[in-house]
Amino acid sequence: MVTGHLREKNGYYHIVLNYVDGHGKRHTPSKSTGLPVKGNKKRAEKLLMDARAAQETELEAKATEQSAENISASLIPFTEFLLDWLEMTKKNVEETTYGAYAMGIKSKIIPYFEEQHPGLALQNVTPKHIQDYYTYELTVRGVSANTVIHRHANIRKALQHAFKLGLIDSNPADRIERPKKEKFVGSFYEEDELNHLFEVVRGDPIELGVILGAFYGLRRSEAVGLKWDAIDFKKKTITIRHTVTQATIDGKSKIIQKDRTKTKSSYRSLPLVPPFEELLHRLKAKQEQNRKLCGRAYCTKYTDYIYVNEIGELVKPGYLTQHFPYILEKNGLRKIRYHDLRHSCASLLYANGVSLKEIQEWLGHSDIATTSNIYTHLNFNSKIASANAILGVYPSP
C-alpha cells in the first residue's frame, strides 16, 4: 500500500510518498508539484492521489514480473543449470581446471540426475538428492571418497552461484555429509629397484621421463615441459620453470603449455649431474641426426623442447602414464605409477641423509607440511632413528 502527504516547502506543495517495495525496503520519495501553496490545495491533493495510484500500479507490475521470474526460475532443470554454470566458469578458471570440472559434470553428475531424477527443477533439489548421488558413486560405481569430494565441490559451487543469483533460497549442498578424505600413501621403489629400472629403460623413449621423475623428482608436466634453455651447461644447473599438461576440453584432448610451474615454490633450480648431462648430450645429438634424416618432414614446432620423438613432435604427458606400466610389466618390475617415481626420489634422498626441509625444496613443495603429510613413512623412519639413539639408556630386563 502506498500512502503519502503534502508538504509545504519554499512556498510550494511537495508530494511525499511512503511505501515498501517487493524486497521489504521502505521508500519515502519527495517531489515538487510546481504549485504555489496559495490557492492550489485542491489541485495539489489531486496530484497526490494520482501519484499514489501511479506508484501502486508500478509496484503491482514489478510484483507480477518478479513472480513470473520466480516461476521461470523454479522450472529451470538442475542439469541445465549445471551446464550454464559450467559455461560461465569456463572464463574464470584455468583450462585444466575447467576440463576437470567438465569431465565430472558432463560425464558423471548430469547422467546420474537425468536417469534417476529426470526433469528435477533447480529449486526442488534437496540435500537428500545430493546425498543419494554420493552414496551411488561410493557404493555402486566404487569411486574413491576423494573423487566424491571433488564432485561435491563442483555441485556446491554451482548451487552457491544459484543462491547468489536468488534462484534458490539456500544451498542444499551445505547440509550433506561429505565422505572423509582418504589419506594418500604413495608407493615407491627401493634403491635396487631403481637401479634395475634405470637399466631396462636405457635407450627407450621413456628413459628421459624415468630419470627426471626418479632422480630429480619432477612432476609429469615438468618432465615433458623441460626446455633446452632451462639447462645451463656452464653453471651445471637445471631450472624448472615451464610445464606441459594435457586436458580434455569439451571432448577434445588439448596440450597446454605454460611458462610457469604449479606453484611459486615449484620454480626451482637443481644441479646438473654428470650422468644426466651425458644423457642430454646424447639426446641433443640424436635430435640433430633425426632432423637431418627426416628433412622437411621433421616437426620444427618444438625444437626448444628436450622431450620430443623421432620426428620432432612433443612427447605428450599421457605417453608417460601409458608407456610406463608397459615397461614395468615387460621387465617383471613391481607395478607403481609414474608419479610414484617422485615418491621414490624423496625416499632415496631421505635414506641418504637429506632432511625433510631439503626434500621440500628439491621437490618444489609450497611448504614443509605438504612434504611431511605425503611422506609420513619418512617421518616414522626418523622416529626409529631417534629410538635407536636413546636405546642405550633403556633399562636392562
Domain range list for the chain? 3-74, 78-175, 191-386
User: What's residue 210's pLDDT?
Assistant: 94
Same fold, 78-175 and 191-386: no
Closest CA to 266 of 210, 211, 214, 222: 222
Encode pLDDT of 185-206 as tens digits: 668 888 899 999 999 999 899 9
Select from 8, 25, 9, 26 the least CA-distant residue to 17: 26
C-alpha cell at 297: 618432414
pLDDT, position 352: 79
* pLDDT at residue 371 in the model: 63
The predicted structure's pLDDT at residue 19: 86
**pLDDT confidence of residue 207:** 93
The predicted structure's pLDDT at residue 381:
54
pLDDT at 380: 52
Q: Report residue 35 CA to chain centroid gap.
A: 65
What pLDDT shows up at residue 151?
Answer: 94
| pLDDT less than 70: residues of the chain | 64-74, 184-186, 261-263, 265, 367-397
pLDDT at residue 37 in the model: 86
Classify domain 191-386 at the CATH topology level. hpI Integrase; Chain A (1.10.443)
State whether CATH 1.20.1250.20 applies to domain 78-175.
Answer: no
Task: Say if CB 119 and CB 74 are below 8 A apart.
Answer: no
